[in-house]
């Protein structure tokens, strides 16, 4: 039964009506992948690496690896970023290579408004032999090797030291990756993101901080996805929190500031749907290193 269910899930990912962007529990630390306006907003050269394995124990379940770099450009309002995301789902593998450029203006004493554009090269592969089709000669199930499609996206990001609101569309171009008689059975639809968060100081010494946050993702052909999270930071070193993905999963989040520049984060998801019966949860781990200036101080809180 488990293998049969795995095949259904895997086929749905390939032949569904819409393919969504990569999913992250700790999106608040990985904002550059969904909003190019974030590039350079932390005021330091930031290097980020993440690995996510989803639905552990389910054959063909998604795996995501992400690596990114972003930095402000000295003595200018510009920020630059670059990222590589690798997604594996069943018989498919795709790589997204992106470059981000942002421009920031001061809107008040506390807030800045950043505009960003993103250019992406997508490379898609399908190993049809992993589908085990009855008719191996069926053109619907032929291999695809390094199918290239370009894309472009944009975003805005309004932020201060304690708050942020962002809206972005990482890919404006809907692409059909796998066609059968001119009918797309694998397509990448436009994803819309709206995110916000605020940092509260819970004591006068700022030893304890609390940050609620929300991320909403909208894409045609898929249910509205809403992620809400609540994280606490203690003495600027330890982070602990929970998150909920509407009608999908609960998550536990933990992090540790190993040094001024190095941060380690971990997240665990548990499904609230029937998928919970076929897997042991999802794991996500990341490292972020920042090359700090000004005696180890950065412009934004470590929460985002």
pLDDT at residue 218 in the model: 93
Looking at the domain assignment, is residue 301 inside a domain? no
- In the predicted model, residues of the chain with pLDDT beneath 50 are 1-19, 181, 295-297, 299-300
The pTM of this model reads 0.86
The string of pLDDT tens digits covering residues 68-108 is 999 999 889 999 999 999 999 988 899 999 999 999 999 99
Looking at the domain assignment, is residue 299 inside a domain? no
Q: Please, what is the end-to-end C-alpha distance for the chain in angstroms?
A: 42
Provide the residue range defining the domain that includes 60: 2-291
**DSSP label at residue 20:** P
Contact 71, 47 (CB under 8 A): no
Looking at the domain assignment, is residue 256 inside a domain? yes
Nearest to 243 by CA among 252, 234, 235: 252
The b-or-e profile of 56-80 (16+ CB within 10 A means b, else e) is eebbbbbbbbbebbbbbeeeeeebb
Q: Which residues contact 76 (CB under 8 A, 6 or more apart)?
A: none
Q: Strand pairing partners for 263?
A: 257, 288
pLDDT at residue 222 in the model: 78
pLDDT at residue 232 in the model: 96
pLDDT at residue 139 in the model: 59
pLDDT at residue 136 in the model: 58
Looking at the domain assignment, is residue 230 inside a domain? yes
Q: How buried is 297 (Cβ within 10 angstroms: 0-12 exposed, 13-18 middle, 19+ buried)?
A: exposed
pLDDT at residue 15 in the model: 41
Q: How far apart (Å, rounded) are the C-alpha atoms in residues 185 and 176?
A: 8
CATH number for position 155:
2.40.160.40
pLDDT at residue 268 in the model: 97
pLDDT at residue 235 in the model: 93
Looking at the domain assignment, is residue 152 inside a domain? yes
Q: Strand pairing partners for 289?
A: 47, 262
pLDDT at residue 180 in the model: 54
Looking at the domain assignment, is residue 300 inside a domain? no
Looking at the domain assignment, is residue 120 inside a domain? yes
Total structural domains within the chain: 1
pLDDT at residue 175 in the model: 77
pLDDT at residue 126 in the model: 82
Looking at the domain assignment, is residue 213 inside a domain? yes
């Amino acid at each position: 039964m488990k293998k049969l269910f795995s095949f259904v899930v895997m086929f749905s990912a390939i032949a569904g009506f819409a393919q969504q962007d990569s999913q992250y529990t700790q999106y608040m630390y990985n904002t550059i992948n969904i909003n190019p306006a974030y590039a350079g907003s932390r005021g330091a050269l930031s290097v980020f690496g993440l690995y996510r394995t989803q639905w552990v124990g389910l054959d063909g379940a998604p795996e995501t690896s992400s690596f990114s770099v972003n930095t402000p450009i000295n003595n200018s309002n510009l920020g630059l970023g670059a990222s590589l995301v690798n997604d594996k789902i069943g018989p498919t593998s795709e790589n997204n290579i992106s470059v981000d450029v942002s421009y920031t203006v001061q809107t008040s004493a506390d807030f800045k408004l950043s505009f960003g554009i993103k250019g992406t090269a997508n490379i898609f592969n399908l190993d049809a032999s992993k589908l085990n089709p009855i008719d191996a000669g069926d053109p619907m199930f032929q291999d695809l090797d390094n199918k290239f499609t370009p894309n472009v996206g944009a975003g805005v990001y309004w932020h201060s030291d304690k708050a942020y609101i962002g809206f972005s569309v990482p890919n404006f171009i809907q692409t059909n990756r796998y066609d059968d008689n001119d009918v797309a059975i694998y397509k990448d639809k436009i994803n819309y993101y709206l995110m916000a968060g605020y940092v509260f100081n819970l004591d006068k010494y700022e030893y304890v901080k609390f940050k609620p946050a929300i991320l909403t993702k909208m894409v045609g052909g898929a249910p509205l996805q809403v992620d809400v999270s609540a994280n606490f930071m203690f003495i600027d070193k330890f982070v602990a929190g929970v998150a909920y993905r509407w009608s999908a999963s609960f998550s536990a989040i933990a992090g540790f500031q190993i040094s001024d520049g190095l941060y380690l984060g971990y997240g665990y998801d548990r499904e609230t749907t029937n998928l919970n019966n076929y897997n042991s949860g999802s794991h996500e781990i990341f490292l972020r290193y920042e090359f700090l200036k000004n005696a180890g101080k950065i412009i934004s809180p470590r929460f985002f």
